Amino acid sequence: MTDRLPAPTVAGTDLDTTESPVPATLDEIADLVFMEAMLREYVEDWKEKLEACQAKLKAAIGDRETATLNGKLVFTWKYIDRVNETELKKHNPSLYEAYTHLVELPVFDKNLFRMGQSDLFRKYQVRQFKRVD
């Protein structure tokens, strides 16, 4: 296997703690803010490298649906029950249109729920953690 990079660390931080300090501002836990930014950069960099590596593997596998290493199955690259609709529509718009039809589906009306059940809306509302740069 390949060598792994050591996990990044920031002096004075412990990510395994079960206690979560609740500071008034992030000034008291600035090391964690910097660590989050550093880890985000690592993830993006490694994601690009992973995608490039997978593209090379797919090219090497070609039209086959499986690939082995030393006789052991390592990868499968099988067709699934899905169509790249964006590409189909781009290259064959009339064919795409011929197989397109309206489907009615029940949809949860979150705005109606918010207006009718504001106390419960907040309880079930999803929170998104996002860095603002």
User: Which tops the pLDDT comparison, 50 or 132?
Assistant: 50
Q: Give exposure, 39-78, as e/b (b: 16+ Cβ within 10 Å).
A: eeeeeeeeeeeeeeeeeeeeeeeeeeeeeeeeeeeeeeee
CA distance 2 to 80: 30
Calpha distance 100→71 (Å, rounded): 44
What pLDDT was estimated at residue 130?
73
Report pLDDT for 94: 96
Which bin fits 62, alpha (ψ -120 to 50), beta or left (φ > 0)? left
Whether pLDDT at 17 is above 90: no
Q: Which of 33-37, 75-79, 112-116, 129-133 has the lowest mean pLDDT?
A: 129-133
